[in-house]
Structure 1
Amino acid sequence: MLGYLGRRLVYVVVTLWAISIVTFVIINLPPGDYVSTLVANAQSGGENIPPAEIANLRHRYGLDQPLVVQYWGWITAIVFHGDFGQSFAWNQAVSTLIGERIALSAVLSISSLLMVWAIAFPIGIYSAVKQYSWGDYTASFFGFIGMAVPEFMLALVLMYVGFRFLGQSVGGLFSPEFQDASWNLGKVLDLLSHLWVPIVVIGVSGTAGMIRVTRANLLDELYRPYVHTARAKGLPEWKLLLKYPVRMSLSPFFSTVGWLLPGLIGGETIVSVVMSLPTGGPLLLRGVMNQDMYLVGSFIMILSTLTVIGTLLSDLALAWWDPRIRKRYKRE
């Protein structure tokens, strides 16, 4: 097991290094750069920027240097100093911009995840155990509806309901009077009163999908020979269900749980844009539109790092949960 973990850590380092190169190359593939975008926006407004000032801007942002030099300066600053560079458009440190949104993104994503688990697992287990019953058909019907309805449409509907019938401000996570206020009990309560809409919007499709996955996986386990053997030995049905087939059917859940880490920062971009949520997704989108290379590159590197680390953690969690996989790791 230790040998397996050591090899995986080496793979993590090599993978992140390769991702950093590919990321930096891709964000520099579109023609032009941030200064070109700045000049184009100025010209569209009828303003001409002198060539000398354009050259000074490129020198100021380091865009007049070769791509290899720009990459080396960027990656070494991240690795050795934790400095993700300076955002061109916001004229702030990238770490400051991202750090301001991590907490709210984490609260939103974790709350949505807990809602998905609390609803999907019991319903999925019930649908599998009561296959082809009215309850199974009802859960399947609403599951397909949840997967089919676009999230942005559901967001608009719930925003209207919240404004029309509950008197809440439309969009955002805070009322106008708490938007720039310091944290206190009133601001926390105001956040909680606004949080339910994005939680429901983000969680609906995830809940529907998790119900279908849980049901399908459990159905695969319910008719295996070990279940019939345990039932023949007189094991109570509820104990048999929870101890064996339910446990084995949750293996796919553990194998994908690591993918949830990037969601703590990225969130649902489309929903966040529609609802004006101060999460990481809209910031990344604006950075791409502005060709803000250090902001976009740092965002992608953070998300990639969380994905790689999350995958490693999910593999270890799967080995802990499923003894069959743990024995295979020991042989390696």
Structure 2
Amino acid sequence: MLQYIMRRVLILIPTIWIISVITFVIIQLPPGDYLTTLQAQLAAQGDGSLGAAQLERLTQRYGLDQPWYVQYWMWFSNIIFNGDFGESFDYGRTVSSLLGERLPLTILLSVLTLLFIWAVSFPIGVYSAIRQYSAGDYAFTFLGYVGLAVPNFLIALVLMWLSLTYFGQSVGGLFSPEFRDAPWSLARVGDLLAHLWIPVVIWGTAGTAANIRILRANLLDELRKPYVVAARARGVPRTKMLIKYPVRVALNPFFSTIGWILPGLIAADAITSQVLNLNTTGPLLLRALMAQDMYLAGSVLLISAVLVVIGTLISDLALAWLDPRVRFRY
């Protein structure tokens, strides 16, 4: 097992480096850049000389007149050796400070959403498998199809409309107006917890529906295998037999999805976060891409990609612990 872990950890180093190169190349692909847009805006406002001076200063500071691989090394080496992700052109602040404000809340929401997905999909998936074709199975199957088909941002819009229409209050944001800019306190933490369930339920809808379908299908496949039939014939209690063997094997997809659920929540749900007015990294990435803010966009994409790698490592280790066949194979 230790050899398996070491091999997986060593693979991370070249993988993260390759990801950083691809990320930087991708953010350089669109024509033009933020500085060109800034120069055009300043020129339109009659500040052409100021725009030229500011453009020259930023170009020299970040080496934007150098080839892309020189710019990449300046960016990546600063991240590795100094922990400096660069400066956001659009916000006029360091990327580290912007991420420091939004990343903790994003990670909190992502972890809570993952726990919500597991807590809801596990019992429903097991129930649907052992009560196949029952009324409850049909009901959960229908809800699963709805959860997969309806986009999260549409669910957010419907929830906001219902809340405003029938309850007279908004469900947007993570804080009430009086706590939005207040310093941290027990009251502010309580207000945050009171608002967290809304984005958690909305973000977790599609993941919960998908996991229910996967667990149901895997468990149905396991329940028809000869070892289950033999265990039943030998008089093994149904609950003990179900939990110890088929459910354990069918749980593999729960652990294997860690690698894509967490980073997907951090970067891919930008529209839902925008609709709900959440101070997460999703809207930050969306604005950075629209403004061609290369260092901010590249940093968010890099962090998301690194989370994919780390999540995949956690999935591999969890699967190796859960399923001995993984350890024996590798």
- TM class by shorter chain equals over 0.9
The answer to whether the 8 A contact 1:258-1:310 is kept is: yes
Report the counterpart of residue 13 of structure 2 in structure 1.
Answer: 13
Alignment of 1:285 onto 2:279: no
- Using a 3 Å threshold, how does the CA distance of structure 1 residues 58 and 271 change in structure 2: closer, same or farther? same
Residue equivalent to 2:31:
31
The Cα shift of 1:229 comes to: 1.1
Listed one character per residue, the Cα deviations across residues 231-274 of structure 1 (whole Å, up to 9, x for unaligned) are: 11111111111111000111122222232342464362110011
Instruction: Tell me which residue corresponds to 2:75.
Output: 74
Taking structure 2 as the reference length, what is the TM-score of the superposition? Answer: 0.93
Cα offset for 1:110?
2.0
- Shifted more, 299-308 versus 186-195: the winner is 186-195
Following superposition, the deviation at residue 78 of structure 1 comes to 1.1
CA pair 160-5 structure 1, distance change in 2 beyond 3 A:
same
Percent identity at matched positions?
Answer: 58
SS in 1 for 2:93: coil
Give structure 1 regions of 4+ aligned residues with deviation exceeding 4 angstroms.
Answer: none
Counterpart for residue 49 of structure 1: 48
**Partner SS for 2:174:** coil
Q: Would you say the 8 A contact 2:129–2:217 is kept in 1?
A: yes
Task: Write the deviation string for residues 184-219 of structure 1: whole angstroms up to 9, x where unpaired.
Answer: 222122222322221221111211111111100101
The AA in structure 2 aligned to 1:244 is: Y
Residues 1:98 and 1:264: Cα distance change in structure 2 (over 3 Å): farther
Q: Deviations over 1:99-120 (max 9, x none)?
A: 1112211222222222221211
Is contact 1:258–1:314 with CA below 8 Å preserved after alignment? Answer: yes
Give the alignment of 1:77-116 within 5 angstroms.
Answer: 77-116=78-117
TM-score, normalization by structure 1: 0.92
> 1:50-199 to 2 correspondence within 5 Å?
50=49, 52-53=52-53, 54-199=55-200
Cα distance in 1 for residues equivalent to 2:69 and 2:328: 45
| Cross-structure match for 2:248 | 247
> Mean Cα displacement is larger for which, 254-263 or 136-145?
254-263
Q: Are the structure 2 counterparts of residues 52 and 146 from structure 1 closer, same or farther at C-alpha, using a change threshold of 3 Å?
A: closer
Q: Given residue 243 of structure 2, which amino acid in structure 1 is its aligned partner?
A: L
Q: Distance in 2 between matches of 1:7 and 1:118?
A: 32
In 1, distance between residues paired with 2:103 and 2:329?
Answer: 37
In the other structure, the counterpart of 2:299 is 298
Instruction: Single out whichever of 197-206 and 240-249 deviates more from structure 2.
Output: 197-206
Following superposition, the deviation at residue 48 of structure 1 comes to 4.9
**Is this contact kept in 2: 1:109–1:267, CA < 8 A?**
no
161-170 vs 311-320, which moves further: 161-170
Residues 9 and 314 (structure 1 numbering): CA distance in 2 closer, same or farther, change over 3 Å? same
Instruction: Give the conservation status (yes or no) of the 8 Å contact 1:159–1:197.
Output: no
Give the deviation of 1:156 after TM superposition.
0.9
Cα offset for 1:182? 0.8
How many pairs does the alignment contain? 328
Q: Which moved more, 1:168-177 or 1:55-64?
A: 55-64
Q: Distance in 1 between matches of 2:110 and 2:4?
A: 31
In 2, Cα distance between equivalents of 1:192 and 1:11: 38
Q: Write the distance in 1 (CA, Å) between the matches of 2:194 and 2:327.
A: 44
Q: Which runs of 5+ in 1 are unaligned?
A: none
After TM superposition, the structure 1 = structure 2 runs for residues 231-246 of structure 1, keeping only pairs within 5 Å, are 231-246=232-247
**Bigger mean CA deviation after superposition, 139-148 or 263-272:** 263-272
Paired residue type of 1:8: R
SS at match of 2:124: helix
Residue pair 1:160, 1:170 contacting (<8 A) in 2 also: no
Q: Is the 8 A contact 2:39 2:52 kept in 1?
A: no
